[in-house]
Structure 1
Amino acid sequence: MARDLQGTQQFYGAVLGWKFRPARLGDGWTVAKLDGVPVAGIGTLTSDLPVAAAWTPYFAVDDADEAADRIRERSGTVAVGPVSFPSGGRGALVADRDGAVFGIWAGGVSADWRVGHGPAPAWLELRTRDAFESAIFYGEVLEWATGRAGCCEVSYEDDQVVLRQGGEPVARLNGGITEAAAHAPETRPRWHVYFRVPDLDEAIEAAAASGGTTLSTIMSSATDRWVNLRDPEGAMFTLTTARAEPGA
């Protein structure tokens, strides 16, 4: 969600190479595409909504109303909805018990929208107080690890709860946020999105030239390099790229 739809499209077009088309949700919404595949949606925040620009993940559910009931039953918050949209879907904007915001969506979901698949976002990360407790909340609300066809598998790896779909990692849950850090924008419990780029240094330069802000140094592991950024309206995200193979 952003206040300047045109400016936001220009920023992410320059940084990530996205193209845009109108969304079926109505005026003020657009769908970002990469290589012809939809990868994200951007909607306009109205002036009367005191909400910060931010990336928010939406999880597919079979029934939005039933999922919203499960969220309330487990002390989560349903802020908006469930409401029906012209596209035929039904969704809601909600938050978990620690205040991390996410969405639920039922109906009209294409398999091309899957995180971790093709040009879509690389993965999602929940930054929270207690990863194991959060995994129980989301597992019950979104029916993870239930054994039904198409559901996600959950495992505990390297002090993280890892969510996989079809064997591929799509989300990670990381605990450790303290009470003192829970109120700062950079460290409060929240969902965070990782976007993959072919050239990290080039993307960082494009972000800076388009009004973005670098929030960290470039970090690395044996397989990846990544950096945290903020777009011109303050929405935080991470760019990541695979490390070159030795000798490549």
Structure 2
Amino acid sequence: MAADLDRAHHFYGELFGWGFRPTRQGHGRYTIAYTEGGVPTVGIGASSPSAGVSLPVTWTTYFAADSADEVASRVQERGGTVAVGPLEFGSGRVAWAADPDGANFGIWEGDLTSAWWGERRPGAPVWLELRTRDAFEAALFYGQVFGWDTQGRERCDVRFEHDRVVLHIDGKAVAGLRGGAIEAAPDPNVRPRWRVYFCVKDVDEVAERATELGGGVLALPADTPYGRIAALRDPEGGIFSVAAVRKGPADGDPAD
């Protein structure tokens, strides 16, 4: 969600090589970003006063749901909060919520396509990570809210790996939950929050380019057991991370 959609297009288009196409979603301007080859990768929208919804400039992780209303009810039953919705949003229904520690996320009921999370490729999301107070408590919350434990381990598997709880879907590691966050920390990097990682070929080059485009570097490029990563921000303050594209069994598990 961006305050200035055109500014967001310029920054991310130059940084990741995305192309953009407008689409009918919600009440304001909304576009789908495409990586090379015309593969849809993310949505970028601008808050509209007519929508009655004011959201911060941020990347939001959305979880699919068969029923946004049922999931929203489970969020509240388990100590989370529902800030907006569920409401009609383009071709589906959406709600914005927060877990008991205050990490924001979205709930999406509607059409899905595997192209949104397909082959690892530059410019596409490669990993989602939650920094939270207690990873095991968070795993219980999200597991109960989204039924991770009812879909069978072949479909959805949650396990502890490399100092974090890792969610595998259809055999692919897609998200990690790490402890140690502090709710009252002044630094947003330390507070509970979901972070998205995007694939890039050269982390150092992308970090430098982000600064040239008016963004900034929150954590300098560094080598980790999973590859080279960096934490960045866009010109409006939206936080995201980048990870070098890599192949092999550990693909998709960057460290935060």
TM-score by length of 1: 0.90
Q: Is the 8 A contact 1:139 1:145 kept in 2?
A: yes
- Letter of the 2:109 counterpart: A
Aligned residues: 242
Q: Structure 1 pair 150/4, CA: closer, same or farther in 2 (3 Å)?
A: farther
Q: Is the 8 A contact 2:222 2:229 kept in 1?
A: yes
Deviation (angstroms), 1:230:
0.8
Deviation (angstroms), 1:201:
2.3
% identical aligned pairs: 50
SS of structure 1 residue aligned to 2:137: helix
Deviation (angstroms), 1:203:
1.3
For 2:247 and 2:209, the matched residues in 1 are separated by 21
Structure 2 residues not aligned, in runs of 5+: 249-256
Report the counterpart of residue 126 of structure 2 in structure 1. 122
Report the counterpart of residue 84 of structure 1 in structure 2. 88
Report the counterpart of residue 64 of structure 2 in structure 1. 60
Report the counterpart of residue 28 of structure 1 in structure 2. 29
SS of structure 1 residue aligned to 2:195: strand
SS of structure 1 residue aligned to 2:191: coil
Deviation (angstroms), 1:15:
0.9
Report the counterpart of residue 184 of structure 1 in structure 2. 187
CA RMSD of aligned residues (A): 2.2
Moved more, 93-102 or 78-87: 78-87
- Letter of the 2:114 counterpart: A
SS of structure 1 residue aligned to 2:2: coil
- Selected match of 2:165 from 161, 164, 188: 161
- Letter of the 1:195 counterpart: F
1:218 aligns with 2:189: no
Q: Is the 8 A contact 1:227 1:239 kept in 2?
A: yes
SS of structure 1 residue aligned to 2:125: coil
Report the counterpart of residue 96 of structure 1 in structure 2. 99
For 1:180 and 1:92, the matched residues in 2 are separated by 25
Q: Deviations over 1:3-58 (max 9, x none)?
A: 01001011001111111101220541011110211111111024686642110010
- Letter of the 1:173 counterpart: L
Q: Deviations over 1:171-214 (max 9, x none)?
A: 00000123552x53221100011011012222122211110101
TM-score by length of 2: 0.88
For 2:96 and 2:179, the matched residues in 1 are separated by 23
Deviation (angstroms), 1:145:
3.1
